[in-house]
Structure 1
Amino acid sequence: MADRPLAGRTVIDLTTALSGPYATLLLAGLGARVIKVENPLTGGDSSRNNSPYVGAGGLTAVRGEGDDMSVSMMLRGRNKQSVTLNLKHPRAREVLAGLVRVADVMVDNYSAGVTDRLGVGYDWAREVNPRIVCTSVSGFGAQGGPGSGKAMDTIVQALSGVMMTAGAPGEPPVRFGLPVGDLVAPLYAVIGTLAAVLQADATGHGQYVDVSMLGALTSLVACEPFDAYEKLGLPSRTGATVPRLAPFGTFPAADGWFALCGPTDAFARGLFAALDRDELGADPRFATRDARVAHAAELHDLLAAWAAERPLASVLDLLARHGVPAAEVRDPVAAVRDPIVLSRGEVVPLAHPRHGRVEDLHGTGVPIRFSGADAALDQPAPALGEHNNEIYGGLLGYSDDDIKSLADDGVI
């Protein structure tokens, strides 16, 4: 993996569940050595106990054999090494200090204040290694937040305002099917971590990188001027269409749905040609962008009535021939099998560490292509504590007796 951008970098991964492990998964795919520290008393990362599982018999809803592995861990654990360490044990800090001394980065996604209570927060880590970058992904940031400070994706979606951006006025809030709070925050965590590593290379000093799920998701909501829409009396929830961009939205054909984005004059004329209604281009209601916005409901009704009588393939063919941006609305299973994303490694097959690939089971790849480097998630997820001897013995120099003593005492 020497040709990967983060080759030679070491990341200590104290994360569990999704938001933190996704950040360290990306760092691993970029070539960092990610050492996943898991609690031996709880069975390790909580993702190890997420149904469904894969074993010798294939995909199952319930764990049946000892080497069955959850699909969640098969995905999030790739390209990582697993060691066990009970951070609540009095001897654990000494062991973790050894890892921090050889690391560039340490990542956690505990609630605010947990690492300090465990005695392994940034102030402690920088005493051990002044160059260390410590990154925390939490629900509400280092200062905590509403309630207990425990943040789940749905809670963050609710607080961020994102649930009230989808759907139509008067409808109940819409929870995004993807756990967007859990997935957006780690992207910012990776950006912040890499920026801090670059600065540490220049200055010799690491720092603390603090990313909140609520802040990350709300910052994306703020990319749209919802406050301006409110002041102007424009709806922030518009359902399947977006009247301030017309024609624009999702529409049903006779046998499926399609999305269309045609707010410019050229795209609108293409749509009128596809509808065999070229005269609409000169109609005062639709001749200009502002006029189309003012008469969006009429325009969208015309489009919907035309499409509803036609097969989806015919609708898309006509729109494409007239240069109108449109696409089928695909379900997730179809989308992850797109030949383009598969060929680029943006989605990749998943494999069990012992039993190999599972037919038609896919997971995220590294959706970044480099002209002079490689990036991939090409190593299967580890078993719990699989690399104890390699890391504690080979990397930190513990003897076999030392490792046995740590295990006997419940440290690892």
Structure 2
Amino acid sequence: MTDQPLAGRTVVDLTTALAGPYATLLLAGLGATVIKVENPATGGDSSRNNAPYVGRDGLNLARRYDDDLSVSMLLRGRNKLSVTLDLKNPRSRAVFTDLVRDADILVENYSPGVTDRLGISYERVREINPRLVYTSISGFGAQGGPGSGKAMDSIIQALSGVMMTAGEPDEGPVRFGLPIGDLLAPLFAVVGTVSALLQAEHTGEGQHVDVSMLGALTSLVACEPFDAFEAVGLPQRTGSMVPRLAPFGILPALDGYLALCAPTDAFAHGVLRAIGRPDLADDDRYRTRDQRVRAADELHELIREWCRVRPLAEILAAFTAEGVPAAEVREPREAVRDPLVLAREEVVPLTHPRHGAVADLAGTGVPIRFSGARVALDRPAPGLGEHNEHVYRELLGYTEQQVADLVAEAVI
């Protein structure tokens, strides 16, 4: 489609697991042609073997039929073309060269040193196509880091400090439930990739875009001055409440939980009116923000006791009437089915490429709206090597015999 922001751009996708594939998923949603290169010797992207699976019988914890697809691949593989290519096979070099010669972008998330061993490093690819934007997503950056240089999301969370920003002060570290390290780095990678693509249009030169999971997540930890909090005696870990913004936090209701965000005088006084204590707005303990911070525990307990015996609907109606920001705390399944995010296609239904909507599944969309362009993740995930014929024969111009020889020699 020519009405998409990255229409006409080709991406060679050498990624696996989550961080890399999420970056190329976004590029695909923005309209780029993403050619996902998978190793036939290992069964392709590791996500293809992530439980649960979906197929003709719906969802199952184990694969039952040959055409069952991992939900992970069903989500991350959309709008991509899958080809097989064993980059460890010496004969793959010529095929790889043909793939990148006219490409605009290459994205890889190998451990440091692997691309050198495979002969597909930035320096090598630059010789083939100097205009190409070569994006690397890794745990610690292209130069490597602690230990082996390999990184998983929990390792990145641990090293970034984010595990010590949540939870109660006297508790152990808390792992963020969403794989935030894996999901954050690809966002920066896409920003860097598109920026480098724009620069290449002016200079005629591509470049290496290097994003580390640790750096991306730690940079966000540094957006909050936790070191300053510690220096002035403010706790860094405060559990469900945030005393320095009081009243602010997660509160229990009779039938669930709500998030309350009332750090300003206007919001805080609205809370006091909502709970039937307008007199406290002039109390020296709660009149100003600094006073509320000093009396945060007492103020939060007052609000907590009022909320605890009332249903969510009543509480939210009372706060809303006073203009106070508050919302129910949703379960993920309910949240991803919000009519608003569905209407904006920020979340979209997932369907099996052969069996359709055999399970009620929701997946990420492209959460960006353009006034003059279309973005979408509307094509199902491919089978392993499903587009070999299309890419090798139609796009690269290989003959039938050439493709047959590559298959016979286990190159593809």
Q: TM-score, normalised by structure 1?
A: 0.99
| Aligned residue in 1 for 2:326 | 326
Deviations, residues 251-277 of structure 1 (Å, cap 9, x unaligned): 001110000000111111111111111
In the alignment, the residues of structure 2 paired with residue 209 and residue 4 of structure 1 have an alpha-carbon distance, to the nearest angstrom, of 23
| Residue 107 (1) aligns with residue 96 (2) | no
Is the contact between residue 83 and residue 385 of structure 2 (CA under 8 Å) also seen in structure 1? yes
Residues 97 and 128 in structure 1, CA contact (< 8 A), matched pair in contact too:
yes
Aligned 1:13-412 pairs, distance under 5 A = 13-412=13-412
How far apart, in 1, do the equivalents of 2:235 and 2:293 lie? Answer: 13
The Cα of 1:135 is off from its aligned counterpart by 0.4
Question: Residues of 1 paired with 2:28 and 2:381: CA distance?
Answer: 11
SS in 1 for 2:410: coil
Percent identity over the alignment is 69
Aligned mates of 2:283, 2:345 — CA distance in 1: 47
CA contact (8 A) 2:56 2:358 kept: no
The one-letter amino acid of 2:241's match is T
1:38 maps to amino acid: E
Determine if contact 1:35/1:80 at 8 Å carries over to the other structure: yes
Report if aligned partners of 1:350, 1:358 keep a CA contact under 8 Å in 2: no
The aligned amino acid for 1:372 is: G
Residue type at the aligned position of 1:206: G
Work out the CA distance in 1 between the residues paired with 2:110 and 2:233: 41
Partner Cα distance (2:102, 2:395) in 1: 9
Report how far residue 359 of structure 1 moved.
3.7
* Residue identity opposite 1:143 in structure 2: Q
**3-state SS in 1 of match to 2:243:** coil
Shift of 1:57: 1.2
1:116 Cα offset (Å)? 1.2
TM-score of the aligned structures, taking structure 2 as reference length: 0.99
2:264 partner letter: T
SS of corresponding position for 1:211: strand
Q: Deviations over 1:213-264 (max 9, x none)?
A: 0000000000000111111111100001000001000000111000000011
CA–CA distance in structure 1, aligned partners of residues 177 and 358 of structure 2: 24
User: How many residues of Structure 1 are paired with residues of Structure 2 in the alignment?
Assistant: 412
Once the two structures are TM-superposed, the CA of residue 358 in structure 1 deviates from its matched residue by 3.2
Q: Is the 8 A contact 2:73 2:381 kept in 1?
A: yes
One-letter code aligned to 1:402: Q
**Is residue 8 of structure 2 the alignment partner of residue 4 of structure 1?**
no
Structure 2: which 5+ residue stretches go unaligned?
none
Q: Which structure 1 segments of 5+ residues have no match? A: none
Secondary structure of the corresponding residue to residue 135 of structure 2: strand
Q: Secondary structure at the match of 1:230?
A: helix
Per-residue deviation at 1:165?
A: 0.4
> Is the contact made by 2:40 and 2:86 (CA closer than 8 Å) also made in structure 1?
yes
Write the distance in 1 (CA, Å) between the matches of 2:192 and 2:10. Answer: 16
Distance in 2, Cα, partners of 1:219 & 1:324: 31
CA distance in 1, matches of 2:71, 2:360: 13
